[in-house]
Amino acid sequence: MTLVSLPSPIAFPGIVTSMAGSPSLATATTIDAAGEYFSYVFCAKESMTISHVSFRSGTATGSPEVIVSIEGVVAGTGLPDGAATYGGSASASTVVASNTNPIIALGGSATIAKGDIFAVKIAYNAGTSLIIQHCGSLSNPIQGSLPYLVTNTGTPTKAQMGQMALIALGSSSTVFYQVPGTFPISAVSTNSFNNTSSAKRGLKFTPPMDCRIIGLRFFSSNQVGDFNAAIGDDGGTELSSSSTAFEGDRNAANVNGMTTVYFDNAVTGAAGTIYRAWVEPSSATNVNLSTLTLPSADFFSASPAGATAVYATFVTSTWTDSTTQLPLLDVIIDQVDDGTGTGGGGGGQRVISG
């Protein structure tokens, strides 16, 4: 293993990058009449065969039905082309219930090549109304001109996404692609806790490459409590005296902010090895570590590092690993393997620059 320094640190798995406030399930648009739709336009980072689409619904009234399709994008307008361009993929009409993440089988799989520009359209078909939700304050970490939104509640209108799309594109009903700008969640939580029962909360993760880890960052809705930040092995044994004591008052972002803490000593991580990074309150004053909840464990395949990065909690003497939650916590990496050794593969995981 030969580690080389990066020009600037990077964050893994890249969950916390671009936080504008406490994450929440918020209204993206309401569709309630014939011809109305809500669409996301993407540039494919990989070739995909999409057979299923999931999205997040808010309040649904009058048994609303939608038709979901994968469409091309018109040159000159940037709008969905209204055709089943990718493999006859218009779905059968589906009734959507309130506050759910329906998984909709398309009428035919959509075959998309890497680099294609395509639209995912959710269109009104029947019923009274349906709210389509996005994740307020959780922004696309690599936002640019793509992906973008097209909303049609009278006139098709393009807009920058700004918020994370709560959709998932699947090769089946249980396996989903990792699509930048998407994060299929069903709930968000603040998770206040203190030093009762030696509580710790954090991230269980497996780095896809050999690397040097120098700290962590996490999102808190009200960070005023004192805490220690540390990294350890899978059993929770701290590595290389990494723990850093942090006084909550020495923190400008004590409401809706991200806190970055650097360890006393860097830790060298090995590809394919399980580690835990955590926040540990050192007083009875609460610390917060926000989490995102997936509709089911199947949706880990759509999250930044798959099931190799999950929320973990510690009470008294035992770690418990979640089967559906991710913490808004990243580790900070300043060196990575130069690729000349025999380190493990990345497995499609994503590392986002800070």
Q: Which tens digits make up the pLDDT trace of 320-337?
A: 999 999 999 999 999 999
Domain ranges within the chain, ordered by starting residue: 3-19+189-353, 32-184
- Categorize the per-residue pLDDT at 30 as very low, low, confident or very high, splitting at 50, 70 and 90: very high
> What pLDDT, in 10s, does the model give residues 94-122?
899 999 999 999 999 999 999 999 999 99
pLDDT of residue 341: 55
Architecture per CATH, 32-184: Sandwich (2.60)
Q: Is the pLDDT of residue 354 over 60?
A: no
Under 8 Å CB-to-CB from 173, ≥6 apart: which residues?
51, 52, 103, 105, 298
Residue 348 has pLDDT above 70, yes or no: no
- Fold match flag (3-19+189-353 vs 32-184): yes
Say what the pLDDT of residue 250 is. Answer: 72
Where residue 161 falls among pLDDT bands split at 50, 70, 90? confident
Cβ-defined contacts of 70-77 (< 8 Å, 24+): 70/106, 70/110, 70/112, 70/118, 70/119, 70/120, 70/121, 71/39, 71/118, 71/119, 71/121, 72/117, 72/118, 72/119, 73/41, 73/117, 73/118, 73/119, 77/156
Q: What is the reported pLDDT for 349?
A: 44
Q: What is the pLDDT of residue 334?
A: 97
Output the pTM of the full model: 0.90
Average pLDDT score over residue span 312-318: 95
CA gap 145, 252 in Å, rounded: 32
Average pLDDT score over the chain: 88
- Model confidence band, residue 223 (pLDDT cutoffs 50, 70, 90): low
Structure tokens at 72: 């091309």
Instruction: Name the pairing type of β-strands 211-220 and 291-293.
Output: unpaired
Whether the predicted pLDDT of 184 surpasses 50: yes
* pLDDT at res. 255: 62
Pick among 1.10.10, 2.60.120, 1.10.15, 3.40.50: CATH of 3-19+189-353: 2.60.120
